[in-house]
Amino acid sequence: MTALARVVCTCPSVPSQWDAWTVDGQYLYLRYRFGRGTVDAYEAPGPEGWDVAPGGYVAEFRDPDDPWRGEIELEEFLRRAGLRLAPLASVVSYEEYARRRLDEEPTT
């Protein structure tokens, strides 16, 4: 089971999604939309550098009885995708992520 050292929630629902890094430094894009959870590995966050669209190439799971579902808690996503948090992992909430993004915006 792959262990994650850092997870950042970048969207809380529709889709639920996270940027994550394994203990070895591999970046993973975690996404849950339309009752489908996918995990994909890329060099870095941000789709501008991705050479293939997300498709669940690392892991995938589905909720066939709830195909419109777009929200899932991190703990459930990790369990169903075969991932886990490493001891002392950093987990950044969407609120903290949004606050940091606002702090980074230039003022005019």
Report pTM: 0.91
Query: b/e string for 48-86 if b means 16 or more Cβ within 10 A?
Result: eeeeeebeeebbebeeeeeeebbebebeebbebbebebe
- Between strands 16-22 and 27-33, the pairing is antiparallel
Which amino acid, residue 81?
Answer: A
What pLDDT is attached to residue 46?
A: 87
The ranges of the chain with pLDDT < 70 are: 107-108
Closest CA to 92 of 78, 74, 80, 106: 74
What pLDDT is attached to residue 97?
A: 95
What pLDDT is attached to residue 108?
A: 60
What pLDDT is attached to residue 16?
A: 97
What pLDDT is attached to residue 59?
A: 96
Closest CA to 12 of 102, 96, 93: 93
